[in-house]
Amino acid sequence: MHYDYLIVGSGLFGATFAYRAKQAGKSCLVIDKRPHLGGNVYCENIEGINVHKYGAHIFHTNNKAVWDFVNSLVPFNRYTNCPVANYHGELYNLPFNMNTFAQLWGVRTPDEAKTKIEEQRAEALAALQGREPRNLEEQALCLVGKDIFYKLIKEYTEKQWGRDCKDLPAFIIKRLPVRFVFDNNYFNDAYQGIPIGGYNKLIAALLEGVEVKTECDFFKEYKDNWREIANQLIYTGPIDEYFDYKFGRLDWRTVSFQTRIEDTPNYQGNAVINYTSHDVPYTRVIEHKHFEMFGQSVYDCPKTVVSEEYSTEYQPGMEQFYPVNDARNNLLADQYRTLAAQEINVLFGGRLAEYKYYDMAPIIEKVLNLPL
């Protein structure tokens, strides 16, 4: 059979493109090298709980058209992301808001909190003696002061990046939002939630009626002959791999997970708890049931599943999670993008193919606005 589109990768970019193509009466074949569909939003059901196999995915957007689109495929629940930080056993609400400031300093009013932060910011700015911040540590201290930085940012960031904050560039943190209201909702978006029944239901709805092939390696089966079976290629894999690493490999940060079943209905009382000190090796613990179970339903499910997340340097064979947007990698990525622009009838899309971090909603918005 000859297809209009060969789509490499069944994550949100590939699956949404396939949905649009089918709606437009186009034929497509979706292939994925993994044994499952859905890319990094894939969920594995363990003990009746949808476990986010590749890390927590929380859908949020201000775009009503995107929200209406995904809810037309599968209804979303009311989950609101309200992470908690654990620093040497002390608990703090995130993002930085009046609850956090009350926990840190015992302040009760926004004016008291503002005064405290401004005092500490002034101290950090004075230490620079008029020069610009040279690294992430100096930048963060100038933005929020020493207490928030040392308890909630410094060691967590160092675990994420595997480097001292003094060795990380200042541009990584352009701003650190602080809220002078008692609001633990991490996102400011108008719409937020998780698909009822998990992300697999969203992917299944996007790919309904579309021909798919898992455990299929594009480079082994189709790279040299795809034009014989399709008019156009939609490629969502790593851009450097597509060009056989002609200019060298792009760097990534990756995450590994230690997932286990706990014989209790409620292990930590929250979906996401960040561990912001070096004495705990992992960056955060996810308790997956809290994404979809609320109130009594938490206790109606007698066990729970938790995942510890460990941030590490990427090595070939690992999953690529976060692009490393330093000078070397940005230059390298631009060289690959120049090559990609010269490819005929090939569309490079998504995090891996664009070497760009995306939340889920912007990916869907991008695909919905693509010409077919």
CATH number, domain with residue 208? 3.40.50.720
332 and 243, same structural domain?
yes
Lowest-pLDDT choice from 40-44, 288-292, 326-330, 349-353: 326-330
* Rounded Cα gap, residues 287 and 47, in angstroms: 13
User: 86-112: per-residue pLDDT in tens?
Assistant: 999 999 999 999 999 999 999 999 999
147 and 40, same structural domain?
no
Domain termination residue (choose one: 172, 199, 233)? 172
Percent of the chain scoring above 90 in pLDDT: 93
Return the pLDDT at 180. 98
Residue 275, domain member (yes or no): no
Mean pLDDT of the chain: 97
Query: What is the pLDDT confidence band of residue 326, given thresholds at 50, 70 and 90?
Result: confident
Residue 75, domain member (yes or no): yes
**What average pLDDT does this structure show over 320-336?**
93
344 and 221, same structural domain?
yes
14 and 146, same structural domain?
no
174 has a pLDDT exceeding 90: no
Residue 153, domain member (yes or no): yes
Return the pLDDT at 172. 84
* Rounded Cα gap, residues 162 and 146, in angstroms: 21
198 and 153, same structural domain?
no
Note down the domain range covering 101.
96-172
Query: What is the pLDDT confidence band of residue 313, given thresholds at 50, 70 and 90?
Result: confident
105 and 74, same structural domain?
no
Query: What is the pLDDT confidence band of residue 175, given thresholds at 50, 70 and 90?
Result: confident
DSSP H helical ranges for 216-372: 218-221, 239-242, 296-300, 327-342, 351-354, 360-368
Domain termination residue (choose one: 172, 205, 220)? 172
Return the pLDDT at 316. 87
165 has a pLDDT exceeding 90: yes
- The conformation of residue 132, written as its DSSP 8-state character, comes to P
**What average pLDDT does this structure show over 291-306?**
98
Residue 19, domain member (yes or no): yes
User: 103-143: per-residue pLDDT in tens?
Assistant: 999 999 999 999 999 999 999 999 999 999 999 999 999 99
Tokens read off for 33: 């090298």
327 has a pLDDT exceeding 90: no
Active site residues: 175, 179, 253, 284, 309, 357, 359
Three-state DSSP class for 182? coil
CB 230 within 8 A of CB 29: yes
193 and 165, same structural domain?
no
158 and 216, same structural domain?
no
Residue 64, domain member (yes or no): yes
Lowest-pLDDT choice from 150-164, 216-230, 311-325: 311-325
User: 189-200: per-residue pLDDT in tens?
Assistant: 999 999 999 999
Domain termination residue (choose one: 172, 202, 234)? 172
Task: Indicate the length of the chain as a whole number.
Answer: 372
pTM: 0.94
Total count of domains within the chain: 2
Instruction: Supply the DSSP string of 297-326, one letter for each residue.
Output: HHHHS--EEEEEEEEEE--TTSPP-EE--S
**What average pLDDT does this structure show over 179-189?**
97
**What average pLDDT does this structure show over 49-73?**
98
Tokens read off for 222: 């189709």
162 and 194, same structural domain?
no
* Rounded Cα gap, residues 129 and 135, in angstroms: 15
Residue 154, domain member (yes or no): yes
122 and 146, same structural domain?
yes
* Rounded Cα gap, residues 347 and 370, in angstroms: 10
Percent of the chain scoring above 70 in pLDDT: 100
Preceding amide of 169 cis, omega within 30: no
Residue 180, domain member (yes or no): no
74 and 21, same structural domain?
yes
354 has a pLDDT exceeding 90: yes
237 and 146, same structural domain?
no
Q: Tell me the residue type at 270.
A: N
DSSP H helical ranges for the chain: 12-23, 64-73, 98-105, 110-128, 136-144, 146-148, 154-161, 199-206, 218-221, 239-242, 296-300, 327-342, 351-354, 360-368
Query: What is the pLDDT confidence band of residue 239, given thresholds at 50, 70 and 90?
Result: very high
Residue 34, domain member (yes or no): yes
